[in-house]
Amino acid sequence: MNDHEIDELLQKQKQFFQTGRTLDVQWRLQQLIRLKIAVQSHVQELQDALKADLGRAKEEAYLTDIGPLIMEINEAIQNCRRWAKEETHFSGLAAFPGLITKVYKMPYGSVLIISPFNFPVLLSLGVLVPAIAAGNTAVIKMSSKSTHCTEAVKKMISQTFPQEYVTAVDGGHDTADRLLAKRFDKIFYTGSPAVGKHVLAMAAENLVPAALELGGETGNWCIIRKDADLKDAARKIAFFKMCNAGQICININQVAVAAEVRDAFIQELIKAFDRQLPDALSSEEYPCLISTQAYDRCAAEAEEYRDRIVYGGYGNRETRKYAPTLICPVGIDEPVVMHELFNPLLPVVEYRDEEINDLLKTIGSREHGLALYLFTKDTAWAKKTMASMQYGGGCINEVCMHLTVRGVPFNGTGHSGMGAYHGEWGYREFSHPSTVFIGSSKFNLSLREHPYSGRKNAWKYQFMKIFER
């Protein structure tokens, strides 16, 4: 899209918003229902697109993109009225004679959603859901890398909503920059920390509020204590690392394993990989990397650690599939654990279990991850650790499942993002609270009015101290 087309589109959306149509909660519910019907009617097309872009089997496409999206829509439909209801507060003695204050949940207006390639359906339409529920219009900038999904979503959105209400567009970084330069009322970006900085800088030019969901600059840690159930941990980690070929913002970037159980854990992890997908490269169920460039980066980094690869370490450039690969041992300060991998490589960092506090200190000194995973039988320690670290979200003795829980936020902090969404948290993200005090023309005290000085007015100061308690 060129500047003129973007200006025209944004003007249409702002004019539509100004009609006040989106303020009607019943109308919003109708749009959510339309979106749900559209998704359910296009399941096959979306599955085919996810297969073409990322090599996803239809089951994984539904498990990770389509199913969670429908759940998100259902939650919004069931709860939108409650979320939208204004709050009523007692104004307090200091505000007498006014007794009531209202807080209205107002939509921002025209929002820009910039989605990534790794979950191109969920992370575009899943963000659209709270934007619609909160009463906004929306422009979705789809990824230029997941071309088939971009076309499928564009087609579906154009058949479901008028352009002045919701539209999906494609294009590369130049299109994204043209959109970011405009005066949208809210921006929601999902992607890398490096681009997140750029998005935030451009948003600041027009003082546009922005929410960022980022992967975390130094990746997400998984810690295996010596008392962990190794077989259970291995089973869950193997599934997660193979899911979408590791191209998941909350995936495990590196695993820290107590030295006392390192070898046993690696053997269990290898067994788990072999049991779930014994020949990943030839399996129709194993996804591929998004591009040849992504494959080459993955293969090149694996080659740097060739002498320490204990499993995997090979791929097929034509199909863009790279096998799940374990690298062990890896030092905690080596390059492979100092950046987000976004591929099926899994470095294994060894530590001594009695030195767990030193490990946590090192992790805590780095950029905050989007996720943290702990495996241990000591749940009291795990809860205390989770309550004292900085990260987006996570699990104890599980992986990724916090993402599926209704009513809780999905968010990052620091280099892993800002803002939150899913359910009511998404509604809050796409609306701003407006406080309205309802005054009275009767029984007004002159307490706040001049003059304050003199014997006749000394009582005012005394009453102020009573009212402000």
- The question of whether 213 is a catalytic residue gets the answer yes
Choose, from 149, 249, 328, 395, the residue flagged as catalytic: 249
- The question of whether 249 is a catalytic residue gets the answer yes
Tokens of 161: 């909503």
Mark residue 245 as left, alpha or beta (left: phi above 0; alpha: psi -120 to 50; beta: remaining).
left
* 3-state secondary structure (DSSP) of residue 291: coil
The residue type found at 297 is R
What is the residue-wise DSSP string for 210-226? EEEEE--TT--EEEE-T
Q: Distance of CA 58 to CAs 49, 55, 62, 66, 404, Å?
A: 10, 9, 6, 10, 19
Position of tokens 């995973």? 373
Q: Distance of CA 379 to CAs 12, 224, 456, Å?
A: 54, 13, 65
Taking Cα atoms as reference points, which of 155, 157, 154, 116 lies closest to residue 31?
A: 157
Helices vs strands, H then E, count in the chain: 16, 20
Choose, from 60, 72, 75, 213, the residue flagged as catalytic: 213
Mark residue 419 as left, alpha or beta (left: phi above 0; alpha: psi -120 to 50; beta: remaining).
left
Taking Cα atoms as reference points, which of 155, 220, 217, 216 lies closest to residue 373?
A: 220
Q: Distance of CA 282 to CAs 140, 303, 331, Å?
A: 35, 21, 32
Taking Cα atoms as reference points, which of 111, 119, 113, 29 lies closest to residue 74?
A: 29
Q: Is 439 exposed, middle or buried (0-12, 13-18, 19+ CB in 10 A)?
A: exposed
The residue type found at 321 is K
Tokens of 230: 């190794």
Cα gap 354→459, rounded to integer Å: 65
Q: Which residues are catalytic?
A: 213, 249
